[in-house]
């Protein structure tokens, strides 16, 4: 995807073929290897009792893996700004949903007044 | 606007394929393949945004109930075979790698390599679903399928039984929704295997296969979250 | 028609109608059912949503008939429950949500952008088919005995107790949701990637900005409805307790998820109305919209803020009081961008030479009724007042002022405004003004009494009521009759105009915009040559100059 186009009006690239960044094969294999390592890591961590930290650690690893897939397998690292906006806003909206719904669940037991 | 600018008759009834000087896969309402490529990848990302919110709603409900019934959730996760889950995770990430390689093959016009990688993706996806079906059959045998077939009783603490059923609702619901997405992916893969073998893709035109890749990787990401949340939350037993 | 006054300032002479246009380009039923032309798909949608509007209207009318007397004498309470449920479901999912985006947006948006079509024409056609499949589920439910859960499908009634067609209805709503997702997706990509040369973001008509904001909401809210209804269907089919408290579930979670979609859905319905009104105000005041950027960004602000307020539907449902305070506070903020729009439209009209054609009458109706609906919305946002009037006719009146007084008025105004572009014919002005007047009077007569009767305590969703409420209810039913006449009249004269209406020129209103720079009806590819935009939105002199130059080429 031509990075130079994302801020300009589309009309000025009449006649272009899609430019693309062929992510090098090395990057794919490195990411795959890292994903394997993290998979083993998350399984290993789950076999140890870390108290309340088991779930946060598992989620942190899952987020890391997802970010790697998004950035390299899905080529977002070379994608126009608009793609970033779409991804970030969808997670932002998801965050709004979680935060505001838990603003109800987590405060139901409070008794200040 | 006056008649001067009005073309008459068949001239503006041009069909996409009438543009002989254009790429055969350029649709008539786009100026060029660059615009078509940008539009279709953006469209796919928009679709994935809706998928994020769709699965997000599921994850939210999961979180609410896990927060309500933590012990039942941990007990439910004990019924998952984490080794089978790990193997399946590796298989699915492997299929993501082969999908990424297929996109690379399409971009560099390697016809046979692209086809091979797509077939490999299909095979690995098939292995994943096969293993999933095996897991489902075991759960059903154990009476863990929620609803009227739910015969399981948690003997150590019978009060957890209801919560475990709820966990199994989410287990079957979320993995089932994920599996449904994979089945749709199989249909797309079969279509693209045919097109890739025919030699449709090359340096100029590869966006359909790139979009297919985005979809497949998204399904992979869903699993990356499902795996720890359904298999590994037994609190380090 | 000789009674029309539309030719006050037709600064572009009506050219001889183009011999070829999107209507006569191909013939036969299949050329419509398999079309990928956004204009033809808009017509398909127009026919479908109009049909369903009258289905929904029928149920409304039956309810008003029952409420003529305090006793439940015309229908049983079960039948009445089905009527208000079906009225809500048909009007919201099958009329209000698709109406303006899928009809007017589909037709006009690509032309406003100078594009040949939407970015994904096949997906656009697919969205109509998905809509129709959902509608068939709806019709099936109506024919085979209805559904009585209310349009909100609250659990556990909908999952455990109701013995009506809950599954088929939710399936219909679930399926229809995907059609609005696809429409929204198509619009966003089209606005980003298909704009004509020179058409920068701040030259876009405000219609496009609002439609863009609508699409964002469609895209990010609708999938949550899909998962919510999917969970509901799973619970109903398997008899498990996702939302049933008896089985360990939490019914409030259903309400949270449902309103996470359904409150933003209110903005899916009203933002397109605002989109239409902005165009109409500019066209009939012959002025630039006052504060263009404020109006443009207020659409996006409404789209965003609309996601932060949903739990104000749940104030008395048992949510945490602290959370309720936060939601009450956040709800107040939505009033800000909405008020910005109203003030800017009004400021545009100030000292303008306003021409009082039918679309402008609808604009005035919209601004007044939307303001009343919006301000009563603030009453309801206030926690204390909401506890008092919750589930009363005050709420019913409030949202009908927004949905009917706002969206339906804007839809009718838009239909009249773009009718010459869509069909190539003018509608009869006198009849149209009469119908606009009937709609306005009938609407207020129907719904204003409901504010009063609700405030003094008449609850919604009952087929019988205390005798002291009867006077106001009779007024309301009388108003509904007038309103029905106001809605039926356009059906007749618009159909009449297809054959007998005066031919419209390229630009019958003398308005600014790319849709007024192509023939009426437009050719299949919208423009014979890709237009180049050299004027700002609503810049009358620059547009006029550009059009003259085009003519001289």
Domain that includes residue C178, residue range: 21-552
- List A residues 36-55 in contact with B (Cβ-Cβ < 8 A): 36, 39-40, 42-43, 46-50, 54-55
Tens of pLDDT, residues A58-104: 999 999 999 999 999 999 998 999 999 999 999 999 999 999 999 99
Cα nearest neighbour of C314 on chain A: A104
Rounded mean pLDDT, C343-357: 95
What pLDDT does residue C550 have?
A: 76
Biggest CA–CA distance in chain B, Å, is: 87
Could you read off the pLDDT of C300-316 as tens digits, one per residue?
999 999 999 999 999 99
For C414, other C-beta atoms within 10 Å of its C-beta total: 27
Q: Which of A93, A109, A110 to mutate to test the interface with C (most CBs of C within 10 A)?
A: A93
Q: What is the pLDDT of residue B166?
A: 94
pLDDT interval class at B157 (50, 70, 90): confident
Tell whether the model's pLDDT for residue C9 goes beyond 80: no
Tell me the three-class secondary structure of chain A, residue by residue: CCHHHCCCCHHHHCCCCCCCCCCCHHHHHHHHHHHHHHHHHHHHHHCCCCHHHHHHHHHHHHHHHHHHHHHHHCCHHHCCHHHHHHHHHHHHHHHHHHHHHHHHHCCCCCCCC
pLDDT digits (tens, 9 = 90+) for C192-239: 999 999 999 999 999 999 999 999 999 999 999 999 999 999 999 998
- Asked whether the predicted pLDDT for residue C528 surpasses 90, the reply is no
Work out the pLDDT band at B27, boundaries 50, 70, 90. Answer: confident
Count: domains in chain B: 1
Contacts of C276 (CB under 8 A, 6+ apart): C100, C104, C207, C410, C411, C413, C414, C417
- At residue B15, the pLDDT reads 38
As a whole number, mean pLDDT of residues A29-34 equals 96
Q: What is the mean pLDDT of chain A?
A: 82
Q: Distance (Å, rounded) from C-alpha C260 to C-alpha C199?
A: 35
The structural domain count of chain C equals 1
- B25 within some domain: no
- Chain A residues with CB under 8 Å of C260 CB are 97, 101
Higher-scoring residue by pLDDT: B27, B13: B27
Report the pLDDT value the prediction gives residue B11, as an integer from 0 to 100: 35
Residue C144's DSSP bridge partners are none
Write the pLDDT tens digit of every residue in B31-72.
888 889 999 999 999 999 999 999 999 999 999 999 999 999
Q: Which two tokens stand for residue C461?
A: 């969703």
Chain A: residue whose CA lies nearest to C318? A108
Residue B19 lies in a domain: no
Question: Residue B25: what pLDDT?
Answer: 85
**pLDDT tens figures, B192-211:** 999 999 999 988 899 999 99
Tens digits of residue pLDDT in C403-449: 999 999 999 999 999 999 999 999 999 999 999 999 999 999 999 99
Q: Rounded to an integer, what distance in angstroms lies between the CA atom of residue C328 and that of residue C322?
A: 10
Within a domain: C374: yes
Q: Is the pLDDT of residue B18 over 50?
A: no
- pLDDT at site A49: 86
User: How far away is chain A from the Cα of C215, in angstroms, using its nearest Cα?
Assistant: 13
**Chain A closest-CA separation from residue B97 CA (Å):** 7
3-state class percentages of chain B: helix first, strand second, coil last, to nearest 5: 75, 0, 25
B136 cis-preceded (ω within 30 degrees of 0): no
Show the 3-state SS of C300-361.
Answer: HHHHHHCCCCHHHHCCCCCCCHHHHHHHHHHHHHHHHHHHHHHHHHHHHHCCCCCCCCHHHH
Q: Rounded to 5, what percent of chain C is helix, strand, coil?
A: 70, 0, 30
Q: What pLDDT sits at residue B21?
A: 54
C234-269 confidence digits (pLDDT tens): 999 998 989 999 888 999 999 999 999 999 999 999
> In whole numbers, what is the pLDDT of chain C averaged over residues?
93
pLDDT at B138 over 80: yes
Per the structure, the complete domain to which residue B147 belongs is given by 33-231
Name the band, by pLDDT with cuts 50, 70 and 90, for residue A21.
low
CATH classification of the domain holding B116 = 1.20.120.80
Q: How many helices (H) and strands (E) does chain B have?
A: 6, 0
More confident call, C270 vs B1: C270
Q: Please compute the mean of the pLDDT values over residues C49-76 and round it to a whole number.
A: 96
Q: Kindly determine whether residue B5 and residue C553, on different chains, have CB atoms separated by under 8 Å.
A: yes
- pLDDT in the model for residue B12: 36
- The whole-angstrom separation of Cα C369 and Cα C405 is 5
> Nearest-CA distance from C382 to chain B in Å?
28
Closest residue in chain B to residue C216, using alpha carbons only: B46
Chain B residue with Cα closest to A6: B38
Average pLDDT over residues C387-411: 96
The alpha carbon of residue B87 and the mean position of all alpha carbons in its chain are separated, in whole angstroms, by 18
In a domain, B110, yes or no: yes
CATH number for the domain including C34?
Answer: 1.20.210.10
Least confident of B86-90, B139-143, C526-530: C526-530
Please report the pLDDT score of residue A23 as a whole number: 53
Whether residue B108 is contained in a domain is answered as yes
Which residues pair with residue C311 across a beta bridge?
none
In a domain, B145, yes or no: yes
Task: Identify whether C9 is part of a domain.
Answer: no
Q: How far apart are CA C132 and CA C128, in angstroms?
A: 6
Range with lowest mean pLDDT among B199-213, C335-349, C436-450, C486-500: B199-213
Asked if the model's pLDDT at residue C8 lies above 50, the reply is: no
């Amino acid at each position: 995807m031509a990075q130079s186009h994302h801020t300009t009006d589309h009309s000025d690239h009449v006649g272009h073929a899609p430019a693309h960044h062929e992510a090098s094969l090395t990057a794919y294999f490195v990411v795959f290897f890292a994903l394997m390592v993290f998979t083993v890591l998350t399984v290993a961590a789950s076999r140890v009792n870390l108290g309340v930290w088991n779930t946060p650690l598992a989620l942190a690893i899952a987020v890391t893996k997802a970010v790697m897939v998004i950035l390299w397998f899905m080529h977002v690292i070379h994608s126009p700004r608009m793609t970033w906006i779409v991804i970030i806003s969808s997670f932002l909206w998801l965050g709004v949903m979680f935060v505001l719904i838990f603003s109800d669940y987590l405060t139901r037991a409070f008794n200040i007044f | 606007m006056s008649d001067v600018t009005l073309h008459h008759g068949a001239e503006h009834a041009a069909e996409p394929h009438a543009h002989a000087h254009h790429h055969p896969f350029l649709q008539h309402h786009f100026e060029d393949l660059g615009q078509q490529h940008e539009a279709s990848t953006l469209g796919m990302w928009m679709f994935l945004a809706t998928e994020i919110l769709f699965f997000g709603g599921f994850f939210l409900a999961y979180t609410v109930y896990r927060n309500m019934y933590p012990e039942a959730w941990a007990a439910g996760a004990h019924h998952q075979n984490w080794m089978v889950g790990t193997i399946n995770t590796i298989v699915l990430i492997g299929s993501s790698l082969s999908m990424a390689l297929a996109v690379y093959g399409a971009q560099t016009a390697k016809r046979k390599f692209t086809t091979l990688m797509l077939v490999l993706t299909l095979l690995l996806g098939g292995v994943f679903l096969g293993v999933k079906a095996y897991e489902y059959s075991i759960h059903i045998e154990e009476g863990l399928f929620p609803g009227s077939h739910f015969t399981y009783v948690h003997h150590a603490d019978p009060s957890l039984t209801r919560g475990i059923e709820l966990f199994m609702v989410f287990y079957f619901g979320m993995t089932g929704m994920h599996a449904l997405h994979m089945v749709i992916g199989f249909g797309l893969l079969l279509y693209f295997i045919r097109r890739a073998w025919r030699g449709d893709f090359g340096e100029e035109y590869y966006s359909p296969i790139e979009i297919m890749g985005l979809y497949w990787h998204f399904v992979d990401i869903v699993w990356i979250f499902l795996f720890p949340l359904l298999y590994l939350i037994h609190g380090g037993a | 028609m000789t009674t029309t006054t539309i030719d006050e300032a037709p600064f572009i002479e009506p050219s001889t109608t183009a011999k070829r246009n999107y209507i006569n380009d191909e013939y036969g039923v299949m050329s419509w059912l398999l079309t990928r032309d956004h204009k033809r798909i808009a017509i398909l949608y127009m026919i479908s949503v109009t049909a369903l509007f009258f289905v929904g209207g029928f149920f409304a009318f039956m309810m008003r008939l029952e409420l003529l007397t305090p006793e439940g004498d015309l229908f049983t309470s079960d039948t009445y429950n089905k009527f208000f449920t079906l009225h809500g479901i048909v009007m919201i999912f099958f009329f209000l949500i698709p109406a303006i985006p899928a009809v007017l947006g589909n037709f006009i948006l690509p032309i406003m952008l100078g594009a040949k079509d939407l970015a994904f024409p096949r997906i656009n056609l697919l969205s109509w088919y998905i809509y129709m499949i959902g509608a068939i589920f709806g019709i099936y439910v109506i024919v085979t005995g209805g559904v009585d859960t209310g349009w909100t499908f609250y659990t556990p009634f909908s999952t455990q107790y109701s013995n009506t067609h809950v599954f088929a209805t939710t399936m219909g709503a679930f399926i229809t949701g995907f059609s609005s997702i696809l429409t929204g997706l198509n619009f966003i990509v089209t606005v980003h990637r298909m704009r004509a040369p020179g058409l920068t973001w701040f030259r876009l008509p405000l219609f496009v900005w609002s439609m863009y904001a609508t699409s964002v909401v469609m895209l990010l809210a609708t999938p949550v409805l899909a998962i919510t209804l999917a969970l509901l269907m799973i619970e109903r089919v398997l008899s498990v307790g996702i939302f049933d408290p008896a089985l360990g579930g939490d019914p409030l979670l259903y309400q949270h998820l449902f309103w996470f979609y359904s409150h933003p859905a209110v903005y899916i319905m009203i933002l397109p109305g605002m989109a239409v009104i902005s165009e109409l105000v500019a066209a009939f005041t012959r002025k630039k919209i006052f504060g263009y950027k404020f109006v443009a960004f207020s659409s996006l602000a409404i789209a965003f803020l609309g996601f932060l307020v949903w739990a104000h539907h749940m104030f008395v449902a048992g949510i945490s009081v602290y959370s309720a305070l936060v939601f009450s506070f956040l709800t107040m903020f939505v009033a800000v961008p909405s008020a910005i729009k109203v003030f800017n439209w009004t400021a545009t009209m100030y000292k303008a030479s306003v021409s009082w054609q039918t679309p402008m009458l609808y604009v005035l109706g919209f601004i007044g009724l939307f303001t009343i609906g919006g301000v009563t919305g603030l009453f309801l946002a206030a926690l204390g007042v909401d506890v008092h009037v919750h589930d009363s006719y005050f709420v019913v009146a409030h949202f009908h002022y927004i949905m009917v007084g706002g969206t339906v008025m804007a839809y009718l105004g838009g239909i009249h405004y773009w009718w010459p572009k869509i069909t190539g014919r003018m509608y009869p002005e006198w009849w149209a003004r009469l119908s606009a007047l009937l709609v306005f009077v009938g609407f207020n007569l129907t719904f204003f009494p409901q504010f009063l009767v609700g405030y003094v305590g008449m609850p919604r969703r009952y087929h019988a009521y205390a005798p002291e409420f009867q006077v106001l209810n009779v007024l309301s039913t009388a108003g509904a009759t007038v309103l029905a006449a106001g809605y039926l009249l356009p059906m007749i004269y618009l159909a009449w105009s297809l054959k007998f209406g005066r031919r419209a020129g390229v630009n019958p209103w003398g308005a600014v915009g790319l849709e007024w720079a192509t023939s009426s009806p437009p050719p299949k590819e919208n423009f014979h040559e890709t237009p180049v935009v050299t004027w700002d939105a609503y810049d009358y002199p620059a547009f006029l100059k550009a059009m003259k130059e085009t003519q001289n080429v």
